[in-house]
Amino acid sequence: MDLFDSIVESEQRDVQLAPGAMLLAGFARPLEAALIEAVAAIIARAPFRHLVTPGGHRMSVAMTNCGRVGWVSDRTGYRYDTNDPDSGLPWPSMPETFADLALRAADGAGFADFRPDACLINRYEPGAKLSLHQDKDELDFNAPIVSVSLGLPATFLFGGLNRNDKTTRYRLAHGDVVVWGGSARLAYHGVMPLADGEHPLLGNQRINLTFRKTR
């Protein structure tokens, strides 16, 4: 049985994924230079790394963080921490450009006054993927998730509140932003293996910024 709908192309138009979930096509493109520069400054202080899940699996997606806290994973579990476990230092602060983008995108999707305190920065290289999961390590589920795509296009999976619910595939291009909250806040979502390619600004990779309010 096919659990997937056909891929939804989102270029040049916004798409409602579900009540409370919206794809804002190209929303971040006007800020692409500032966002890429900010990412470079962050990874100079807190480099990308491949985290290990509690079950011992090495994640194919490399990641780092900025903000008051950062999301980390190891054999002891998933959690938010104020310090980078690799350096022992606080995570780099969240750039104003990041926070302002997240605020405006959330507002555009119907969620006013979103003030994230964490930004997860993921790097996808060809073949990297993210299995279906819920974002549920936060203490405040009233705030939405704001996810920004930069670089190579990706196929984003968005489903329901149960892992076995039908999942629709959405093509996310450079500058697209997805916001989900309200009744969709705990929807299962993921990313299919990244296809090979070359982006004119970021080369052979996709960078994803995921903004969250953890408390």
Q: Which of 156, 202, 200 is nearest to 177 (CA)?
A: 156
Is 170 a known ligand-binding residue?
A: no
> In sequence order, what E strands does the chain have?
8-9, 15-18, 21-24, 62-67, 70-74, 77-81, 118-124, 130-133, 145-151, 154-158, 168-172, 177-180, 189-191, 206-212
Is 140 a known ligand-binding residue?
A: no
Q: Is the pLDDT of residue 184 over 80?
A: yes
Tokens linked to 33: 């230079």
User: What residues form DSSP beta bridges with 178?
Assistant: 23, 147
Is 17 a known ligand-binding residue?
A: no
pLDDT band at 11 (very low <50, low <70, confident <90, very high): low
pTM here?
0.94
Q: Is the pLDDT of residue 22 over 80?
A: yes
Is 204 a known ligand-binding residue?
A: no
Is 188 a known ligand-binding residue?
A: no
pLDDT band at 1 (very low <50, low <70, confident <90, very high): very low
Q: What's the confidence (pLDDT) of residue 7?
A: 56
Q: What's the confidence (pLDDT) of residue 140?
A: 85
Q: What's the confidence (pLDDT) of residue 112?
A: 97
Q: What's the confidence (pLDDT) of residue 73?
A: 95
Mean pLDDT, residues 184-193 taken together: 98
Distance CA 94, CA 23 (A): 23
Domain ranges of the chain: 17-212
Is 83 a known ligand-binding residue?
A: no
Q: What's the confidence (pLDDT) of residue 6?
A: 45
Q: Is the pLDDT of residue 193 over 90?
A: yes
Is 91 a known ligand-binding residue?
A: no
Q: Is the pLDDT of residue 2 over 60?
A: no
Report the percentage of the chain scoring pLDDT > 70: 94
Mean pLDDT, residues 5-24 taken together: 79
Q: Is the pLDDT of residue 126 over 60?
A: yes
Is 104 a known ligand-binding residue?
A: no
Q: Is the pLDDT of residue 4 over 60?
A: no
CB 43 within 8 A of CB 121: yes
pLDDT digits (tens, 9 = 90+) for 50-72: 999 999 999 999 999 999 999 99
Residue 52 one-letter amino acid:
V
Q: Is the pLDDT of residue 8 over 70?
A: no
pLDDT band at 13 (very low <50, low <70, confident <90, very high): confident
Residue in this structure with the two tokens 């096509």, named with its chain if needed: 25
Residue 5: how many other CB atoms lie within 10 Å: 11
Is 180 a known ligand-binding residue?
A: no
CB 27 within 8 A of CB 174: no
Residue in this structure with the two tokens 């971040």, named with its chain if needed: 28
In words, the CATH class of domain 17-212 is mainly beta
Is 68 a known ligand-binding residue?
A: no
